[in-house]
Structures are given as structure tokens and as C-alpha cells.
Amino acid sequence: MFQKNLKLQNAFILLASYVFYGWWDWRFLGLIITSSAVDYWCGLRLGYVIAQAPSSRADEGSVAISIDERENKTETASSFLLIVTRNPKFYLTLSILFNLGLLGFFKYFNFFIESATDFINLIGFQAHASTLNLILPVGISFYTFQTMSYTIDVYRGKMEATKDPVAFFAFVAFFPQLVAGPIERASNLLPQFFKRREFEYQQGSDGMKLILWGLFKKMVIADNCALVVNPIFENYQTASGLELMMGAILFAFQIYGDFSGYSDIAIGVAKLFGFELMTNFRTPYFSRDIAEFWRRWHISLSTWFRDYVYIPLGGSRVPKAKAIRNIFIVFFVSGFWHGANWTFIAWGGIHAALFIPIFLIGKNRAHLHEGEHMVPSFKEIFQMGSTFLLVCIAWVFFRADTVGEAWGYLKGIVFHPLISGVRLSSYLLSIVLISILICLEWIMKGEQVFNFRKPIIRYSSYSAIIVLILFYGVFFNPQDFIYFQF
């Protein structure tokens, strides 16, 4: 009876996920279904091949397959195919190439064509780009990485291949976090589809609190900041230095409220269904250096690159020169993952340049086990302020349409008149709302939201947040989630 109920639950989640994704554009359901099918099959084959060669470890190289001595060791097409298809690396490579090929075609095809054309024209030859009018499937950057984690972990022997297609397909398409994360590991989320899930009041209560907090960050903080940020970036040539500074700062809170707000909503909705997703943000703007920032910002992506790119390259257990190379590769790929634009690569390069000095002096693991004091010291305030400033500078490249516009924006902060035509009142509301966000997050320390002991304070907080959400939802134009474009 338990297994029957579990299968029905998983089937319902799969159906709901496909309806959710197909509501955007049903034609792209074929992509996520195909991606799921390929990795499900690769996982089955990996499990079978590894089981057939218990004396060989998948991460130590290929499985040795002997050829019939009676054929005098003459290689034939069939024997070669037999060797290849009994090699776990074949199925791992097939999975990675398929998923990266899918992602590369839809997300980067036009970028590579246009970049190659620009380079050819730059060296004196004439070339004309021929691009496709491709629509980027929403969430493709997230679910391709999520499903790749499955085949990689099966190959590494960290988990067994699943034989339940409904559970696996539901894991890939799990609708709360499908289109903007967190990017869940198969080793964490997939086993939860095989466990008894019953509604629990405390889990449901925690989920509703996270949903409420996520809606506040998105609708009240991020969408309000967008109303100020968008005009500034669109008219940066004529904006004053102070306006440009405010634009960069407010965009930092816009993207944080937008992305972390979605993550909170996704984690909260998952709790209502009995699932536990990983934390994706831990108050990143309280970081005291760039290394700490990346332990707090988009944790699911940064740890994915750490475990599946950085460590396999050798991580930090290699000579310094190679370790620096590995850091640059990770930040380069991280920037490129966000979009087919040189601005994202520049953004990743800036963070690499800021991270490497900390790594070289051995401080990249500083503050690892430290918690914030209720009243920060002057040193901590300075560290957090300077780190936030550097992050804001990098965000300008992330937000700008081109690298040239980003440089023009930053130069405008320095060389444009400081306060020409600035109306401070236009920023007052955003500053007040951001101050509320900062105070609440400092008090909560990024842990349980609304965890106030006194009921009057707790319910007053609920009421105030709900009123603000309803007010902004009615009187302001809602903005799309920024990370839907990735």
C-alpha cells in the first residue's frame, strides 16, 4: 500500500511539473523529456556495466575487455563496439555531451557564430553572420546541470542507478525549482522520491514562512528596485554620479531579492510536498571577503562547479600555478553559464581576480566557522562594506548589455557631476525597504525566518509583510524573475 501511494504521489508530481513547464511553451516539453530519457538510460547502463566489472573502479579508467583469442586479436567493428559499450566512460561521456550539446545549441549557438564573425572581420577579412532565431528554453541551464549530477554520481559510485522512470523524470522536472533552482544534486533530491512523504504541520509552517519571505524579497524589494534601476542603466550617459552609484547598489539588492526570493519560494513549496531542498543563499551581503561571498551566494551552483569542475581539475591540491588556472576556469565557466554575452565572462573574470589574492595568502577559508555578532565590530563593518562595494562594481558588468556600456557606466560614476539633477526622494522608499530587509536578515542570521519567540512580534511581522506584498502586487507592475533568462 505504501509503495502504491508513493508511486501515485510521484506520478502526480511529474504530471504537475510537466503542466507547469508546458504552460510556458508546451513545445519545449520534448527537450526536458528527451534529456531525462537519455540520462535515465545512461544511468541504467552505467549501473549494469559497473556491476559487471566489480574489480574495476569507474573513476580509475576504462574497463578492460578481452577480445576472443581465436580471432588472433584482430580488431573488428563489432569487437570495438563491444569494448566501447562496456566502458562506463562511454555512457558518462554520452550523457555530458548530449546535455552540454543541448544547452550549447539553444544558449550559445548565435554567440559563437557572431563572435567568430567579429573576429574574422577584425583581422581584415569579410564575413557575415548567419544566425538562427532561437528561443532559450526557460530553466534549461538548471535542469541540464541537475540531471548531469545524476550520471556523474552514478559513474563515481556515489549512488545507485534508479530503475523507476517516474521517480527519475519527476526528479528532473520537479516544478518548484525547475526553472531557476536551486540546482539539486541527484544524491540529495532523488532518494526523497522513494521515502514516505506525509504532511507535517511544522514542515508546512516552515514552508509557508519561506514562501512569504520569498514573496517579500521579490515583490517588495526586487520589483521596487527595478523601477529605479532600469531607467538609470538605460540612460547612464546622462545620469549623475550619485544616480549611477545608487543604480549599482539598488541593482545588487534587486538581483538578490529576485533570485534568493525565488529560491525561498521554491524551497518553501517543496516543503509543502514533503521535500527538503538545499539552501541557496545565506545572507551573502554580510560577507567579509569575496571567498565568503561565494560560500553564501547561489550555493547550489558554486558547489556544483566545485565538485564537478574544480576538484576534478585538481582543486587546490596542485601547484599554485595550476590552482590559479583552476580558479580562473571555474569563474570563467560560471560567468559563461549565466549567458551568451561577454559581460558575463567579464563578471566571472572580475570575481576570479578578486578571489585569487585571497587564495594566495591562504585566507580563502577565513570566517568559515564564524557567526556574526549581534553588534558587528568596526573591522567587520569595513570588511562587509568593502566586499559589497567590489560586488556592486562586478554587478555593473552583469547588468550592462555590453562590456563597453559597463565601462561607460563605471566611468560615469567618477567623471559625471555628482549630484546634478538628482532627486533623493526618488530613492527614499527603496532605501527604507532595503534597510528593513537588512535588519531582518541580520536578526535572523539567514536561518529560520520569522523565528521570533513572542507571538505578538511574530504575527505582527506576518501582517506587515502580507500588507506590503499585497500593496506592491496591486499598485506596482510586477517584474519577471531575472534568472528566468538563464
Q: How far apart are CA 172 and CA 111, in angstroms?
A: 27
Closest CA to 404 of 396, 392, 414: 396
Distance CA 88, CA 92 (A): 6
Q: Which has the closest alpha carbon to 288: 349, 363, 393? A: 363
Give the CA dihedral 213, 216, 219, 223, nearest 10 degrees: -110
Helix H or strand E encompassing 448: none
HSE-CB for 392 with a 13 A CA cutoff: 22
Cα 224 to the center of its chain, rounded Å:
23
444's enclosing H/E stretch is helix 425-444
The total of other beta-carbon atoms located within 10 Å of residue 302's CB is 20
Residue type, 228: V
C-alpha to C-alpha distance for 449 and 207, rounded to whole angstroms:
10
Helices (H) and strands (E) in the chain, counts: 18, 0
Q: Are 91 and 46 in contact (CB under 8 A)?
A: yes
What's phi and psi for 210, nearest 5 deg? -65, -40
Distance CA 254, CA 311 (A): 32
**Annotated catalytic residue, options 298, 338, 351, 416:** 338
Catalytic residue at 338? yes
Distance CA 225, CA 220 (A): 8
Q: Which helix (H) or strand (E) holds 26?
A: none
The three-class DSSP label of residue 179 is: coil
AA identity, residue 291: A
97-103: long-range contacts at Cβ-Cβ below 8 A with a sequence spacing of 24 or more? 98/35, 98/38, 99/35, 99/38, 99/39, 99/144, 99/147, 99/148, 100/144, 102/31, 102/35, 102/140, 102/144, 103/140, 103/141, 103/144
Q: How far apart are CA 266 and CA 276, in angstroms?
A: 10
Query: 521515502: which residue's cell?
Result: 195
> Helix, strand, coil proportions of the chain in percent (round to 5)?
70, 0, 30
Query: Cβ distance 119 to 148 under 8 Å?
Result: no
Q: Which residue has the cell 585569487?
A: 356
Please state, as a whole number, how many other Cβ atoms lie within 10 Å of the Cβ of residue 71: 10
Q: Which active-site residues does the annotation give?
A: 338
